[in-house]
Structure 1
Amino acid sequence: MFHSLGKYILLLRLSFKKPEKFSVYWAEVMREMVSIGVGSLGIISIISVFIGAVATIQVAFQLASPLVPKSIAGSIARDSTILEFSPTISALVLAGRVGSSIASQIGTMRVTEQIDALEIMGVNAPGYLIAPKILASIVMFPVLVVLSIVLGMMGGYLACVFSGDIAPAEFVMGLHDGFDPVTIQVALVKSFSFGFIISSICAYQGFYTSGGALEVGQSATRGVVYSCVMVLFADLMITRLML
């Protein structure tokens, strides 16, 4: 365990060494941002709308008492979406999409000896392959989470319109009542952390792959599983420290 942790830390140190040619690394970061951000828009949008709608309907069902104002459903759905649903569920979904892609890409380059060729040419392979993916994830994960929050609220509003359980005006009133900006800060800190965790763990698994196609698949699976576990642990720690 400690040996693996040492290799992980060493790989991160090598990844963030001063680049040989900044323009090449910058182009890689931009390419990865497009791949991670634009490529994940569809799945994040669909999941966020449905999660917001389901959260609103369930809260409305549980607040059937006439003594409780209907507008509180908007407040509960808002806070649960901002604090938990959007950052954490989005991260778990992105671990499957982005994390497996990172691990399989780097793992394939390792088993086909492309990484060895880069090192022979004097290129810092971890810096060229891993650092752009980590930087792009750190930048794009918060953007995707903010988009997820907005779409989650829209999903809740649409659920009110079509189900009739809560008047849309009451839902919107609940969204405004008692809003605390700290919840947005917590969501952004979580998204930054999750982006780093997923990209770095999956890159580590891919970089130290050995064997053939079967081992590449196993590395991608391990990367997704380990990153999901660490995302949930980080979620607990950040929530405990910031709230």
Structure 2
Amino acid sequence: MEQLNSTSSPARKKRPKFVQTIVDFFSSIYNIHLFIVRFFREAFVPPFEFKEIVRQCYEVGVRSFTLITVTGFIVGFIFTKQSRPSLVEFGAQSWIPKLVSIAIMRALAPLVTALIASGKVGSSIGAELSSMRVTEQIDAMEVSGTKPFKFLVCTRVLATTITIPILATYTGFIALIGGYLNVAQNEGTSYSAFMEEVFKPLTFVDFNASLIKAIVFGFTIGIVGCYQGYYSNKGTEGVGKAANGAVVTAMFLVFIEEVIIVQITGNFR
């Protein structure tokens, strides 16, 4: 797949800067569209790279396990601690478990997981594929008859799409444990009583919305990291730009998707 390259056009030099910026923006949108279409065209057509998908799931999931655990616990503990004074002021400290469960399961768990993965996984994918492009390993795979897009891109995008929802679910439960420790420290609430209160306000829509968010976030992180790395250039400088671009773009899109999904799912509650 050839990317659009407006830099080689003689008309580029004659365009005002703001016009060229707009042209480059829509050119990038078109290239990303072609990249996503190519992914769906090749990802679900045999032969399937199951072994590589499993390896990438390990890279995304297991290697992020410690960071996700620590982050999830801190988020749950701090959120509960910061929410307590306001509720205590109104004598509503019994609402803390419900407030924590709604905030974590509806929003914080998938969002925090996606942001952590954007920084760790997205940058790793962008830098790895970019370095392979710079050292011409991808070109060598194409010459040898191997399908580099299917092996390098499809496997990574599928891995992030599968693994991020699992990590988000795990983050949610770890955050609830962090919240429980704070509640138990101040209220002496038992674990069973806390968990009973936690799941009361949650509905089927809440769990579905969190799952949809995590899947969309995982796909976004994978596709952005692969796009930035697969089409990087400018030698070693491009490796750093690809890693940085993967992180910044993925985080920005995650926030945009969060707003859109919240608006849609809010109509079903």
TM over 0.5: yes
1:73 aligns with 2:96: yes
| Selected match of 1:218 from 234, 241, 260 | 241
Amino acid at match of 1:83: R
Aligned to 2:133: 110
| Structure of greater Rg | 2
Kept in 2, the 8 Å contact 1:11–1:126? The answer is no
Distance of aligned partners of 1:225 and 1:210 in 2 relative to their CA distance in 1, 3 Å threshold: same
Aligned 8 A contact 1:49 1:151 in 2: yes
Q: Which residue of 2 aligns with 1:63?
A: 87
Give the number of equivalent residue pairs: 239
Q: CA deviation at 1:173?
A: 4.6
Q: RMSD between aligned alpha carbons? A: 1.7
1:40 paired with 2:71, answer no
Mean Cα deviation higher: 99-108 or 12-21: 12-21
* Equivalent residue runs for 1:15-164 within 5 Å: 15-18=39-42, 22=47, 25-65=49-89, 67-68=91-92, 70-162=93-185, 164=186
% identical equivalent positions: 27
Match of 1:191 in 2: 214
1:223-242 map, 5 Å: 223-242=246-265
Partner of 2:18: none
Task: Between the two structures, name the one with larger relative contact order (CA 8 Å, sep ≥ 6).
Answer: 1
Structure 2 counterpart SS, 1:223 = helix
Q: How far apart, in 2, do the equivalents of 1:138 and 1:52 lie?
A: 24
Following superposition, which runs of at least 4 residues in structure 1 exceed 6 angstroms of deviation? none
Residues 82-109 of structure 1: per-residue CA shift (max 9 Å, x gap): 1111111110111000000000010000
Contact 2:98 2:199 in 1 (8 A): yes
Give 1:54 deviation, angstroms.
0.9
Q: CA deviation at 1:65?
A: 3.0
